[in-house]
């Protein structure tokens, strides 16, 4: 997936706020398929991905304590509430390398270390947004339980029909949500948290010669 090209293209067009979508598996029984999760943290377990713009060939230390824009997240949560959609307003997404799915042991480990959902694409997209000074929020839709959670709805051949039905239903609901978020664009634009972080840390990094 061309994460860097996608974000760079948006930046070149003057985009300052991005809401990404992703499909995820649940690592917790209480987060049922069909639920919308608004991530506020990620755990990156990928490797070998091109994950820095290396601006001006300088090593940039950017803060990622809160990788997702809280302002954008709050608006997503509000709109989901108004739509009366099943929603979890916080969640840690474990980003795995892929393209294979987890083993049972891996899935249990992801939950043990604090993961709520598992995905293959949230990193480095989320970080690129911060590096470019773009406010970033994500909408994660749960299609199934990961294999470490005992269930009849998981990425197994016998349950794929159910998973695909949930996926299609989630897709339609996501499109409706994005339409409502587009209508709230002016409110979303009131935040510039990523841009502020970028400016502050970029300047300090260059000044210190790091």
Residue 144 appears among annotated catalytic residues: yes
* Active-site option among 40, 50, 116, 146: 146
DSSP string of 137-167, one letter each residue: EEEEEEEEE-TTS--SSSSSGGGHHHHHHHH
Active site residue 146: yes
Rounded CA separation 38/93 (Å): 9
Are the CB atoms for 61 and 130 separated by under 8 Å?
no
Identify the bridge partners of residue 142 per DSSP, sorted by sequence position. 24
Whether omega for the bond prior to residue 124 falls within 30 degrees of 0, making it cis, is yes
Spatial contact of 6 and 124, defined as CB atoms under 8 Å apart: no
Set 54, 56, 116, 144: catalytic member: 144
CA distances 196 to 59, 142, 163, 202, 210, Å, are 18, 32, 40, 10, 20
Mind telling me the catalytic residues? 144, 146
């Amino acid at each position: 997936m061309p994460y860097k090209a996608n974000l760079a293209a948006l930046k070149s067009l003057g985009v300052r706020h991005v809401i990404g979508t992703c499909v995820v598996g649940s690592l917790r029984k209480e987060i049922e398929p069909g639920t919308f999760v608004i991530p506020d943290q990620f755990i990156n377990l990928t490797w070998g991905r091109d994950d820095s713009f290396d601006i001006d060939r300088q090593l940039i230390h950017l803060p990622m304590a809160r990788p997702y824009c809280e302002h954008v997240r709050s608006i997503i949560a509000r709109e989901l509430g108004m739509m009366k959609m099943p929603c979890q307003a916080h969640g840690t997404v474990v980003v795995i390398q892929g393209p294979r799915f987890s083993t049972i042991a891996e899935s249990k480990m992801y939950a043990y270390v604090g993961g709520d959902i598992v995905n293959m694409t949230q990193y480095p997209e989320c970080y690129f947004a911060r590096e470019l000074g773009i406010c970033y929020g994500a909408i994660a839709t749960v299609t199934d339980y990961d294999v470490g959670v005992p269930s009849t709805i998981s990425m197994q051949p016998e349950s794929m029909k159910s998973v695909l039905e949930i996926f299609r239903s989630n897709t339609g609901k996501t499109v409706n949500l994005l339409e409502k978020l587009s209508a709230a664009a002016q409110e979303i634009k009131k935040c510039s948290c990523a841009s502020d972080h970028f400016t502050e840390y970029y300047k300090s990094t260059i000044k210190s010669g790091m």
